[in-house]
């Protein structure tokens, strides 16, 4: 041992002397042909250099001297060359000489080297030596070059070239694993430092793309570099799987696992697993195809490839890397369209050792992947099958093994989280659907006896179902129905509980149509529209709108043939009794007389005289009779008939309506349609009741609003009645805003000589067409402040214009069309009566009323109704007055930061409606007057919308916040233009008047606002 050490020291001393001589010669060289022999004097001791490859390439003046120097070099023997090579690279000689080669030679002489000399004399020091030592020397020069007069660009370009040749083109990682196996497999004394060496080496190898320059070759980019590295690692694992000698396998697999871990740490787990997953999946498919029948677990346990992969993944000790790899494996299997069996064995091959021996990895599968992550439902099934059920699956269904303790614990944990109300408020909708599916799939594989062994699962499920059935979201209620259905099947498989009419059979879509429904969930800003485009009211916010069967039945009941209607004479005198809607006897009119030929026969048949009472029933002609009939709740037929006739009698606007409007509104609110109609007909009666209330609000707003506002917070009404009141008020506001009334023009002054007073401007052509009129656009959510004008053109000769409406009064044939004008939007007159009483004391907790707590649905409907009112009053002075009161309400922390997304969506809608409704000229006037209340409120809208867009978990809130910010930017643009025009006009007219804006407003107007989808800056 001592003699070997002495010999090694002698070799090292000789090599250092040779290296020193070469370094001095390079430093004193004046020509490139003096540098090449110096490098050759060292290379000939280590490598089998052939002088004929480069001896004839020197300059003519130095040819004889160079050939003499090269040929006189005495090459070492083959036996001694390995000793020289190991001593050179293991000691200090190589780092010292490599520094000169990489700095001095590369900076001054390498560009002058012939290609053959560079390849066979210079590159061999880095390509034919041990890759472990070469990499540790080359990588530091990628980003660190000392300032010693060296050409930094030449040095780094040369280092990048050598790294590409050494690691990528010459399969450097495969050489490294061979060097590890050859050098350390039998040397137990060096295994202590081996782990630190492998860790340092893997860190150096994975840091190369980060240290490379921006202008480095594409092969050193992260994507291409790690792609080549991963391919080499896959080849290494395949070679180890086919190799019978396993002495160094553990060391090599540990090194591969370390590189896997560091690649994932650098955020490239998707790239790594995009190469690994198809490779493992292909081997799994080969095994499954070789066993055409059922395959046993022993097949994979005895196969060498799964063993190699499981040991490699076991070497990945970083929990973060394992989590990212498992996540990407699931996504890659889903992209590869793997079957349940193929996916299970692929996941088992990679992670079953980690799950058994590492508690943190098991927690990733049973906790993080079930409660914190969101995967496709197929991936969820694979997770449950692998980590919870712990047995191979059947062809298309989950399979349960003998050990069910994991299933019981997972079900209990999922049910506990799913039942909490905070979970429903604070978790994104996609994750709610995902956890619901996980709980449902667990229940699907449980029995009644296993359910009884769990703790509080039944209570948690009942609590979760209850809170979801009260939620206004249709899909949230569908989740509750699905869990209730699966839970009932566990309790009693023969009598499942159906809470949703859309369920068919025993199969449940655990995806809940999420791909199409999540983006299309009706939010608070959306209204239901009929096929004609007319807006309809819903019975309540909690109504299930997705029942296709009920919609078809309702449509069939209401559909009639247009040919059955007979055109009426417009001058005919109408009896109010004929305005009654069709009753039960009317519905049978179509079937009463099937054929006129049978009339003579059927008239002779006997009939029951008691049926005459139905035909002789009282026809309502006065509203006081309707009120009286509605109060007689024991007369079901009378109440139903009164509801059906109420709207048309109210629309007729009799004289008694003014005095009886309040009592009629109160009575309609108190009627229970579910008590007076048969099952399946509740929607029709409910719609008639709401239409009657809307007609009351439109025809007699003040009298009706007094009753509705007093009933809104009354303890004598329930939540559904409060929601109905708010729905009715919103629809009445829309109808008032869209109504048109005919009024005579004011022509009392008579014609004037000046043409300035003419309604038609002088620059427009005069003809028989109607004059140009400004069109109001209060019904549009995204209001454009640009004015729009329209007129009706004169009809062509012989053209007949057919209308859809009739005037129920006598009309002179020669009536002048220009003597009347249309007046639009009657709502602003009643806007204060609609909004102020509803906003008053909304936050006060009364008996049965808690808008800021339990009754959040009513609060959301209230805010939505106020936003609709602001839209209906757009660009009117009333909107400017009411906007400040509404914004004060919205700024309340309990309102704008409500835990329910439903309320936050309503607040965003109302804030956007305020931005739409305000006239920029009014904002300018408040700024000029120095009134900061409105400006502060508008600034709050902007900051709050930014906060919602940045941090809100609800997708609809995020989308609505962006729309609100866009409206705010457009409003700010219009206000700034109005400010500029105001400043210019005031300066030109007065000259000495100086309008100074408040500092806050000056700061706001100086902000550079980039409008979405435009190039306009504010």
Residue 635 has pLDDT above 50, yes or no: yes
Distance set, CA 10 to CA 21, 23, 75, 203, 526 (Å): 17, 20, 18, 34, 89
CA dihedral (245, 250, 256, 261) in degrees, to 10, reads 160
What band does 800 get if pLDDT is binned at 50, 70 and 90?
A: low
Which tens digits make up the pLDDT trace of 72-103?
444 455 566 777 888 888 888 889 999 989 98
Q: 430 and 387, same structural domain?
A: no
More confident residue, 950 or 777: 950
- Domain membership of residue 197 (yes or no) is no
pLDDT at 907: 95
Q: 413 and 380, same structural domain?
A: no
Q: 432 and 388, same structural domain?
A: no
pTM, to two decimals = 0.70
- Domain membership of residue 332 (yes or no) is yes
Candidates 8, 954, 47, 137; CA nearest to 523 is 954
User: Average pLDDT in the 774-792 region?
Assistant: 55
User: Average pLDDT in the 721-733 region?
Assistant: 92
Among the candidates 461, 495, 514, a domain finishes at 514
User: Average pLDDT in the 349-364 region?
Assistant: 92
What band does 309 get if pLDDT is binned at 50, 70 and 90?
A: very high
pLDDT at 319: 92
User: Average pLDDT in the 904-933 region?
Assistant: 89
Q: 408 and 393, same structural domain?
A: no
Q: Could you give the angle at the alpha carbon of 146 between the alpha carbons of 141 and 152, nearest 5°? A: 65
- How far apart, in whole angstroms, are the C-alpha atoms of residue 832 and residue 878? 8
- Domain membership of residue 355 (yes or no) is yes
Long-range contacts of 511-517 (CB under 8 A, 24+ apart): 511/377, 511/433, 511/437, 512/433, 512/436, 512/437, 512/475, 512/478, 512/479, 512/482, 513/475, 514/430, 514/433, 517/475
Q: 375 and 425, same structural domain?
A: no
* Parent domain of 462: 404-514
Residue 168 has pLDDT above 90, yes or no: yes
- Domain membership of residue 359 (yes or no) is yes
- Domain membership of residue 831 (yes or no) is no
Q: 484 and 360, same structural domain?
A: no
- How far apart, in whole angstroms, are the C-alpha atoms of residue 378 and residue 344? 11
Which tens digits make up the pLDDT trace of 884-897?
999 999 999 999 99
Which tens digits make up the pLDDT trace of 931-969?
788 889 999 999 999 999 998 888 889 999 999 999 999
Residue 547 has pLDDT above 80, yes or no: no
Indicate the helix (H) or strand (E) that contains 930. none
Give me 761's structure tokens.
């401007």
Q: Mean pLDDT of all residues in the chain? A: 76
More confident residue, 123 or 529: 123
Which tens digits make up the pLDDT trace of 5-58?
677 777 788 888 888 988 998 888 888 888 888 888 888 888 887 666 665 444
pLDDT at 4: 52
Which tens digits make up the pLDDT trace of 613-626?
444 455 777 888 88
Among the candidates 375, 400, 425, a domain finishes at 400
Residue 849: partners with Cβ closer than 8 Å, 6 or more residues away:
713, 715, 855
Length of the chain: 1018
Q: What is the DSSP letter of 527?
A: -
Percent of the chain with pLDDT over 90: 31
User: Average pLDDT in the 723-746 region?
Assistant: 80
Q: What is the DSSP letter of 1013?
A: T
What band does 504 get if pLDDT is binned at 50, 70 and 90?
A: low
- How many helices (H) and strands (E) the chain has is answered by 50, 4
- Domain membership of residue 294 (yes or no) is yes
To the nearest 10 degrees (0 to 180), the angle between helices 222-242 and 269-290 is 30
Q: 345 and 328, same structural domain?
A: yes
Residue 750 has pLDDT above 80, yes or no: no
More confident residue, 563 or 591: 591
pLDDT at 679: 66
Q: Are 19 and 96 in contact (CB under 8 A)?
A: yes
C-alpha 384: how far from chain center = 25
C-alpha 994: how far from chain center = 50
Q: 464 and 390, same structural domain?
A: no
DSSP 286-303: HHHHHS-S---HHHHHH-
What burial letters (b/e) apply to 852-875, b meaning 16+ CB within 10 Å? beebbbbbbbbbbbbbbbbbbbbb
Q: 489 and 390, same structural domain?
A: no
Q: 508 and 415, same structural domain?
A: yes
- Domain membership of residue 35 (yes or no) is no
- How far apart, in whole angstroms, are the C-alpha atoms of residue 945 and residue 697? 34
Number of domains present in the structure of the chain: 2
pLDDT at 16: 87
Q: Is 750 left (phi over 0), alpha (psi -120 to 50) or beta?
A: left
pLDDT at 192: 57
- Domain membership of residue 297 (yes or no) is yes
Q: 422 and 364, same structural domain?
A: no
pLDDT at 510: 84
Return the number of other C-beta atoms located less than 10 Å from residue 615's C-beta. Answer: 7
Q: 452 and 379, same structural domain?
A: no
Q: Are 662 and 704 in contact (CB under 8 A)?
A: yes
**Burial class (CB within 10 angstroms; exposed 0-12, middle 13-18, buried 19+) of 429:** buried
Backbone angles phi, psi at 145, to 5 degrees: -130, 120
Among the candidates 480, 514, 548, a domain finishes at 514
What band does 363 get if pLDDT is binned at 50, 70 and 90?
A: very high
Candidates 780, 882, 783; CA nearest to 830 is 882
pLDDT at 990: 36
């Amino acid at each position: 041992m001592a003699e070997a050490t002495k010999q090694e020291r002698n070799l090292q001393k000789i090599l250092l002397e040779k290296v020193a001589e070469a370094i001095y010669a390079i430093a004193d060289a004046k020509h490139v042909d003096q540098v090449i022999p110096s490098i050759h004097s060292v290379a000939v001791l280590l490598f089998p250099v052939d002088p004929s490859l480069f001896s004839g390439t020197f300059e003519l003046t130095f040819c004889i001297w160079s050939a003499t120097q090269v040929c006189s070099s005495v090459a070492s023997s083959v036996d001694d060359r390995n000793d020289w090579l190991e001593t050179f690279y293991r000691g200090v000689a190589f780092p010292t000489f490599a520094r000169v080669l990489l700095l001095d030679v590369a900076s001054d002489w390498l560009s002058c080297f012939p290609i053959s000399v560079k390849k066979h004399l210079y590159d061999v020091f880095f390509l034919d030596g041990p890759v472990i030592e070469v990499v540790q020397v080359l990588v530091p020069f990628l980003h660190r070059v000392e300032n010693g007069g060296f050409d930094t660009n030449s040095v780094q370009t040369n280092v990048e070239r050598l790294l590409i040749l050494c690691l990528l083109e010459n399969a450097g990682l495969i050489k490294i694993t061979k060097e590890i196996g050859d050098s350390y497999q039998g040397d137990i004394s060096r295994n202590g430092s081996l782990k630190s060496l492998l860790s340092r080496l893997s860190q150096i190898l994975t840091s190369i793309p980060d240290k490379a320059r921006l202008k480095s070759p594409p092969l050193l980019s992260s994507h291409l570099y790690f792609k080549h590295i991963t391919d080499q690692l896959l080849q290494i694992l395949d070679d180890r799987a086919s190799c019978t000698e396993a002495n160094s396998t553990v060391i090599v697999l540990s090194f591969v696992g370390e590189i896997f871990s560091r690649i994932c740490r650098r955020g490239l787990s998707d790239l790594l697993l995009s190469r690994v997953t198809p490779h493992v999946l292909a081997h799994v498919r080969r095994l499954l195809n070789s066993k055409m029948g059922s395959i046993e677990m022993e097949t994979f346990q005895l196969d060498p490839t799964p063993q190699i992969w499981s040991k490699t993944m076991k070497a990945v000790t970083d929990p973060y890397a394992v989590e990212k790899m498992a996540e990407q494996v699931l996504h890659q299997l889903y992209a590869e369209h793997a079957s349940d069996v193929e996916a299970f064995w692929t996941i088992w091959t990679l992670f079953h050792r980690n799950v058994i021996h590492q508690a943190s990895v098991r927690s990733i599968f049973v906790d993080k992947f079930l409660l914190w992550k969101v995967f496709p439902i197929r991936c969820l099934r694979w997770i449950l099958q692998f980590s919870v059920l712990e047995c191979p699956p059947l062809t298309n269904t989950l399979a349960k093994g003998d050990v069910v303790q994991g299933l019981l614990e997972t079900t209990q944990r999922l049910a506990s989280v799913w039942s909490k109300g905070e979970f429903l408020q604070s978790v994104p909708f996609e994750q709610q659907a995902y956890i619901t599916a996980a709980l449902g799939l667990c229940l699907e594989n449980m029995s009644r006896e296993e359910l009884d062994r769990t703790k509080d699962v039944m209570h948690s499920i009942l609590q979760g179902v209850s809170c979801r059935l009260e939620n206004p979201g249709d899909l949230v209620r569908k989740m509750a129905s699905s869990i209730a259905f699966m839970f009932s099947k566990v309790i009693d498989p023969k009598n499942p509980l159906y809470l949703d009419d859309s369920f068919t059979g025993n199969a449940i879509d655990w995806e809940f149509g999420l791909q199409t429904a999540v983006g299309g969930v009706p939010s608070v800003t959306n209204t239901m529209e009929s096929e004609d485009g007319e807006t309809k009211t819903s019975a309540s916010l909690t109504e299930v709108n997705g029942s296709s069967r009920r919609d078809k039945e309702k449509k069939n009941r209401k559909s009639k043939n247009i040919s059955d209607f007979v055109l009426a004479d417009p001058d005919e005198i109408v009896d109010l009794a004929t305005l009654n809607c069709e009753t039960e006897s009317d519905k049978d009119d179509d079937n009463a007389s099937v054929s006129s030929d049978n009339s003579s026969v059927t008239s002779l048949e006997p009939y029951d005289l008691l049926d005459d009472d139905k035909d002789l029933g009282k026809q309502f002609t006065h509203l006081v009779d309707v009120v009286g009939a509605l109060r007689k709740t024991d007369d079901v037929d009378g109440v139903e008939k009164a509801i059906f006739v109420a709207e048309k009698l109210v629309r007729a606007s009799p004289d008694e309506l003014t005095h009886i409007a309040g009592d009629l509104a109160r009575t309609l609110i108190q009627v229970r349609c579910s008590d007076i109609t048969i099952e399946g007909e509740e929607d029709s009666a409910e719609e008639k009741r709401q239409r009657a209330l809307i007609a009351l609000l439109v025809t007699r707003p003040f009298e009706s609003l007094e009753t509705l506002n007093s009933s809104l917070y009354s303890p004598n009404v329930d939540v559904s009645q409060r929601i109905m009141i708010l729905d009715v008020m919103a629809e009445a506001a829309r109808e008032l805003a869209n109504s048109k009334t005919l009024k005579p023009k004011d022509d009392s002054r008579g014609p004037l000589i000046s043409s300035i007073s003419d309604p038609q401007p002088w620059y427009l052509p005069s003809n028989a067409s109607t004059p140009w009129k400004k069109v109001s656009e209060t019904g549009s959510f995204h209001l454009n402040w640009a004015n729009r004008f329209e007129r009706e053109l004169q009809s062509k000769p012989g053209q007949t214009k057919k209308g859809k409406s009739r005037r129920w009064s006598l009309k002179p044939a020669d009536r002048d069309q220009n003597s009347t004008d249309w007046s639009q939007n009657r709502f602003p007159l009643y806007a204060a009566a609609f909004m102020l009483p509803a906003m008053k004391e909304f936050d006060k907790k009364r008996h049965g009323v808690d808008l800021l707590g339990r009754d959040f649905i009513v609060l959301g409907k209230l805010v939505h109704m106020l936003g609709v009112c602001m839209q209906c009053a757009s660009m009117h002075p009333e909107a400017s007055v009411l906007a400040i009161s509404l914004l004060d309400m919205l700024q309340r922390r309990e309102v704008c930061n409500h835990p329910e997304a439903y309320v936050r969506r309503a607040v965003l809608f109302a804030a956007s409606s305020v931005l739409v409704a305000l006239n920029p000229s009014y904002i300018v006037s408040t700024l000029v007057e120095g009134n900061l209340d409105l400006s502060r409120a508008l600034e709050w809208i902007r900051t709050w919308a930014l906060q919602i867009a940045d941090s809100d978990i609800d997708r609809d809130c995020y989308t609505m916040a962006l729309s609100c910010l866009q409206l705010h930017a457009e409003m700010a643009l219009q206000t700034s233009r109005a400010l500029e025009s105001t400043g210019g006009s005031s300066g030109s007219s007065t000259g000495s008047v100086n309008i100074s804006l408040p500092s806050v407003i000056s700061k706001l107007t100086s902000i550079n606002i980039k409008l979405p989808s435009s190039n306009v800056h504010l």
